Amino acid sequence: METRTFFAGLSQRQSSRQQRQYPPKAPKLGQKPIKTSSQQQLGFPGKAMLVRPAITAAARKKPETILPPPTKPTSKAQKKILPPQPNNVKVTTVRVRKRLSRKTRLKPMARTILYVLRLLIVGIGIGAIVGTVLSVLDPASRITTTDSSSNNNQRQPQTQPHLISTTPTSGLSLSQEIIPLKTAVQDLVANNPNLTPGVFIVDLDNGGYVDINASSSFPAASTIKIPILIAFFQDVDSGKIRLDEPLTMQKTMVVGGSGDMQFKPVGTKFTTLEVATKMITISDNTATNMLIARMGGIDALNQRFRSWGLTTTTIRNQLPDLQGTNTTSPKELGNLMAMVNQGNLVSMASRDRILDIMRKTVRNHLLPTGLGEGATIAHKTGDIGTMLADVGLVDLPTNKRYVVAVMVKRPNNDPRAEKLISSISGAAYRQLNQTASTSPTTPNNLPPGNSQSPFITPSFAPTSTLPTGGYQPPMMNPPLPTNSQPPLFINPPQYYYPPYQR
C-alpha cells in the first residue's frame, strides 16, 4: 500500500517536471528511440517494469505532432533532381535564349568594314574642317578678294543702276516715253504707208525712250554681225581667242556679197582682229563666216544669244542671207548696244575696241546723215532687197549718249526706206540735242556712266565753241578745211557695195 502511494507521488512529480521541460526534438529517421530517465529510474534490476503514470488533464490532450520547419515553395525548374540513373532517366534540355549585341552578331568581315567606314567618315570630316580653316587663312584668297573688290570699285563709276541692270538678260530700264519725239516719228511713218518700220530710241542719261513696233521680228541681214562681234570679244576676254591669232580662209567660207576677202586666194591667213574689223567696217560676209566657224558654229552662237536674254536674234544660215532667214528686232539690238556701252557683256577694253571698230563703218548713208555737227556714231547697217536697217550708239558734243535702232520692211529695194531712216535719225538728234543744251547740267556733274574714253570721243562743255567746220573724231577722217562746209561723211569706194546684201 505504501509502495503504491510512493510511486503515485513520484509519478505526479515526474509529470509536473515534464510539463516544465521543453518538448523533445523529433527523432531523426533511422534512429532508435532513446529511453527516458524516468523509464530507467523505474526499472528494477533484472526486470523491465512498465509503470503507467497517472493521467492528468494535460496528459489527456492529444499529443502534438512536431513537423519539420517550413520551406519555401520551389518552382518546377528547381525540383529536387535525383541522381542520374543509367536506364530509366529522361534528360530534358532547356534552351536559354541570350540576346546578342550588334557587334556579336556581325561577322568579322562586316565588323572590319564598319570600322573602316567610321574611320573614313571621321577622316572626311576632319579634312573638311581643316580645308575650311586653311581657305580662310590663305593669303591668296585675301588678295583675290581685294582685287575683285577693287575691280568692282573701278567699274562702279561706269555703271548706271537706274538705266542698265548688272545682269545681261534684263537689258535697259526704261523710265518714260519721249512724247514729242514719238509724235515726230509717227508723223514720218504716216507719210510712208508702204513701209513697215520698227524704231527703238533710248536716252542713256535718263531712260527716256521711243518704242514703235520695236519688239517685232525683222530679217537681220548684216545687223546680225553686231552680236557676232560681241561674242568674239567675249572669247577674247576669256582667253579663248587671241587678237593676233591667225585664221586661214578656207574654200567653204568664201562667199559673195559685200567685202573684199572673197577675192583673196584660198589659204590666205588673217589675224582674228583683222577679220572682225572687216566684218563690221566693210560688212565682209566671208569674214563673218570665218568667225562663226572659229567660235563653234551657228548653234553655239545661238546658245550664247539666249544666255544674253535675246529671243528673236537667231542665226539660221551663213552669210549672205538674202532670203532673210536670220532674224532680230530693233529692241534687242538696242539693248545689246546699251549693254556694251555699260560693259555688262564685255570688259571695258573690249567695249572700247568694239565701239572704235563700229565708228569706222564706211557705209554712212543712213543714220549718220541725220546727225548734226559734232556728233559721232558707232553703228552697223543691214541691207537686203526687202529690208533696210541701221543700229548705232550716238555721242553728242554735249557728252550725251543715246541708242537708236531703225529697221524698215519695204518693197524690193524701195529707196524711200533710206530717206525714212535718215529722217528718224534727224528727229532724234534735234530732240535729244535740244534737251541736253537747255539743261543746266555740266560735264562735272553728269552721271559717271556717260564718261568717254579719251582716245574715242573727247567731251565738250555745253557752252564751249566747236571748231569751225565741225568736230571730227580721231582715227577716222582727216580734218576738213575751215573755210568750207563739205558733207559730213565721205562716200566709200563703189566696189564695197554690189547690188546684194551689205
At 20 the pLDDT is 54
| Other beta carbons within 10 Å of 305 | 22
Identify the residue whose cell numbers are 505526479.
12
CA triple 49-53-56, angle to 5 deg:
175
Instruction: Say what the pLDDT of residue 46 is.
Output: 47
How close are the terminal C-alpha atoms of the chain, in Å? 177
CB 429 within 8 Å of CB 375:
yes
Q: Where are the alpha helices (DSSP H) in 67-176?
A: 102-105, 108-137, 139-155
The set of residues, in sequence order, having a beta carbon less than 8 Å from that of 343 and lying 6+ positions away, is 155, 158, 159, 351
136 & 163 share domain: no
Q: How far is CA 147 from CA 133, 237, 348, 371, 443, in A?
A: 21, 17, 16, 42, 30
In a domain, 425, yes or no: yes
Count of beta carbons in the 10 Å neighbourhood of residue 183: 11
Q: Are residues 135 and 234 in the same domain?
A: no
Percent of the chain predicted with pLDDT > 70: 58
CB neighbour list of residue 225: distance below 8 Å, 6 or more residues apart: 279, 280, 283, 288, 319, 380
On whether residue 501 sits in a domain, the answer given is: no
> What domain range includes position 125?
107-140
Residue 295 maps to a domain: yes
Q: Would you state the pLDDT for residue 13?
A: 57
147: in domain: no
For residue 51, being part of any structural domain is answered with no
Question: Do residue 164 and residue 120 come from a single domain?
Answer: no
356 and 328 in one domain? yes
Are 362 and 376 contacting, i.e. CB atoms less than 8 angstroms apart?
Answer: no
* Three-class SS state of 287: helix
Pair 328, 244 in one domain: yes
Co-location of 134 and 204 in the same domain? no
Residues 6+ apart with CB under 8 A from 135: 141
Residues with pLDDT less than 70, the chain: 1-106, 136-172, 435-502
Kindly state whether residue 12 falls inside one of the protein's structural domains. no
| Mean pLDDT taken over the chain | 74
Length of the chain: 502
CATH of the domain at 372: 3.40.710.10
Which residues, 6+ apart, have CB-to-CB distance to 370 below 8 Å?
421, 422, 423, 424, 425, 426, 427, 428, 429
Residue carrying C-alpha cell 556581325? 106
Task: Please enumerate in sequence order all residues whose Cβ is within 8 A of that of 54, keeping only pairs 6 or more positions apart, or say none.
Answer: 8, 11, 12, 15
* Domain identity same for 264 and 169: yes
pLDDT, residue 91, reads 54
For residues 75-108, one letter each, b for 16 or more C-beta atoms within 10 angstroms of the residue's C-beta and e for the rest, the string is eeeeeeeeeeeeeeeeeeeeeeeeeeeeeeeeee
Q: In 328-344, which positions are buried (b, 16+ CB within 10 angstroms) versus exposed (e)?
A: bbbbbbbbbbbbbbbbb
- Tell which residue, 319, 317, 309, 238, has the closest CA to residue 286: 319
The total of other beta-carbon atoms located within 10 Å of residue 457's CB is: 23
- On whether the CB atoms of residues 204 and 231 are closer than 8 A, the answer is no
C-alpha cell at 59: 496528459
CA 64, CA 338: separation in Å to the nearest integer?
A: 127
Q: Does 366 reside within a domain? A: yes
* Residue at 76 is within a domain: no
What pLDDT is attached to residue 120? 84
- Provide the CA 470 distance to its chain's centre, in angstroms: 51
Total domains in the chain come to 2
130 and 219 inside one domain: no
User: What is the rounded CA–CA span in Å between residue 232 and residue 304?
Assistant: 11
Q: Are residues 250 and 122 in the same domain?
A: no
From CA 27, how far away is CA 501, in angstroms rounded? 141
- pTM beyond 0.75, yes or no: no
* 121 & 182 share domain: no
3-state secondary structure of 270: strand
Is residue 197 domain-shared with residue 334, that is, in the same domain?
A: yes
Q: Are residues 207 and 301 in the same domain?
A: yes
